[in-house]
Structure formats: structure tokens, C-alpha cells
A and B are shown apart, each in its own frame.
Chain A
Amino acid sequence: EVQLVESGGGLVQPGGSLRLSCAASGFRFSTYWMRWVRQAPGKGLEWVANIDEDGSEKYYVDSVKGRFTISRDNAKNALYLQMNSLRAEDTAVYYCARASFWAFDIWGQGTMVTVSS
């Protein structure tokens, strides 16, 4: 079964850091671009970041540039999102998603990140 499982969310103070992980299974992880998408409580979806198959190309939404870093470990079938200098507006459910045909074809269940003092 093709599956993505996120972990690492939690409560963090403004200015703090958090590292999200996404474990992939059921497909050849190393042959797919991967993405992070977030959804603030009661709000819509927002694309956050993309990474190519070998981790050499990375793209970010303007609001997280310089603060978030997307990375991957193909040997571990894992995707990561390092989030630094967190702000209240980063509070959201964070989803990892597989990229296919310029779409997001497989999604994880999400992990909640709350930035609050």
C-alpha cells in the first residue's frame, strides 16, 4: 500500500524550531519529487515547499524562504521539513505529499504544529 506518515508536530514557542518527518512506503520514493503543504485551522491549503528526486532542487513559498528547509534521505525513504524562527502564522496542519503529473497525488494524514507562548 502506498503510504505517507508524518510525525514531529507539536507545540513550540515563537522563534523556536521544529523538524517534521514524513515516512514513505509502498512506492519507489527516490524516483518522485515530494512536497509539503499546510493548512491553518479553519483555512485553506497552502503549498510550502518542493524537492526533486535527489534533493538538489528545492523551492519554497515566499513566506517561509530563509526559515524552512526541505530535505530528504532516499536511503531511509524519508522526507523532512526543518522549520526555524517559527511564527504564530505558521500554526497549521502540515501534510507531506507525493508529486505526480504536476499534482499532489498521495497525501499523508498530517501533523499539527502550534506556535504559541
Chain B
Amino acid sequence: QSALTQPPSASGSPGQSVTISCTGTSSDVGGYNYVSWYQQHPGKAPKLMIYEVTKRPSGVPDRFSGSKSGNTASLTVSGLQAEDEADYYCNSHAGSNNFVFGTGTKVTVL
């Protein structure tokens, strides 16, 4: 149950786009369409942003989108806004009702 690999940091100017990768294996990311993404502001609980690779919960702006290719999933934030500055974590089902999170990416809005 090794953590999924994410880049430690990513950044962009307001209005630009940033894409965060999440790399796993065929036993987790590549094996299931059950990848989800979470946003966490300092001192706060995580918030679900994307589930089942591409789906957005009600209330999440359509600036957030998800995709997957092979063992790597991605989260793209378009039209960056100041409030998007946060830590982002991916998560994947890893078989037998086990789950694994990514290492986390700090997004900075320049």
C-alpha cells in the first residue's frame, strides 16, 4: 500500500491553468475508475472535488476537471483563482476495499 506519487508543488498565475499528476500502479489507479481528488486549506478538513476520475460533486466549479491515462490520473484547475491555493490529494481504490492517497501537491497562485 504505497502512497500514490504526486509532484510536491505546482503554481500558476491567476487565470492560468495548472495540472497535477497522480501516478500509481495497475493495482490501484490503472485498475479502477475510482480516482478522487481532495482540496485541503490549512487547518481545514479535506473537501471532495472530483470522484470516479471525472465527475464533479454539486457545488464544485467546472474549473476543476479530472482525467486518467493508464496508471496516471490528473487534476486540472483552469482559470486559477486566489482561493484555489491549497493542498490537493488524489485517492484511488486499491482492491479489496482498500484505499490509497497521493503524497499531496501544494498549489500556489502567484
CB distance from A92 to the nearest CB of B (A): 13
Q: From A59, A61, A101, A104, give the contact of B46 (CB < 8 A).
A: A104
Give Cα A100–Cα B103 distance, bound, in whole angstroms.
22
Give Cα A102–Cα B36 distance, bound, in whole angstroms.
8
- Complex interface: stretch among B17-25, B78-86, B94-102: B94-102
Interface size band for B: 20 to 34
Check if B89 sits within 8 Å of A44, measured CB to CB: yes
Check if A44 sits within 8 Å of B102, measured CB to CB: yes
Within 8 Å of chain A (Cβ to Cβ): is B1? Answer: yes
**CB-CB under 8 A for A45 and B104, given A103-B91, A104-B91:** yes
- Taking CB atoms, residues of chain A closer than 8 Å to B100 are 47
Per-position 1/0 for A62-96, Cβ under 8 A of B: 10000000000000000000000000000000010
Q: Which of A44, A50, A107 has the most CB of B within 10 A?
A: A44
Give Cα A53–Cα B5 distance, bound, in whole angstroms.
31
Within 8 Å of chain A (Cβ to Cβ): is B64? Answer: no
Check if A50 sits within 8 Å of B97, measured CB to CB: yes
Check if B55 sits within 8 Å of A107, measured CB to CB: no
Check if A107 sits within 8 Å of B46, measured CB to CB: yes
Q: Which of A45, A95, A101 has the most CB of B within 10 A?
A: A45
Check if B98 sits within 8 Å of A61, measured CB to CB: yes
Check if B45 sits within 8 Å of A107, measured CB to CB: yes
Check if A47 sits within 8 Å of B98, measured CB to CB: yes
Within 8 Å of chain B (Cβ to Cβ): is A46? Answer: yes
Q: For B3, give the chain A residue with the smallest CB separation.
A: A44
Q: For B96, give the chain A residue with the smallest CB separation.
A: A59
Check if B57 sits within 8 Å of A44, measured CB to CB: no
- Taking CB atoms, residues of chain A closer than 8 Å to B96 are 59
CB distance from A55 to the nearest CB of B (A): 14
Q: From A44, A62, A107, give the contact of B101 (CB < 8 A).
A: A44
CB distance from B2 to the nearest CB of A (A): 11
Per-position 1/0 for A95-117, Cβ under 8 A of B: 10000111111011110000000
4 shortest interchain CB distances as A-B pairs: A103-B51, A103-B36, A102-B34, A47-B99
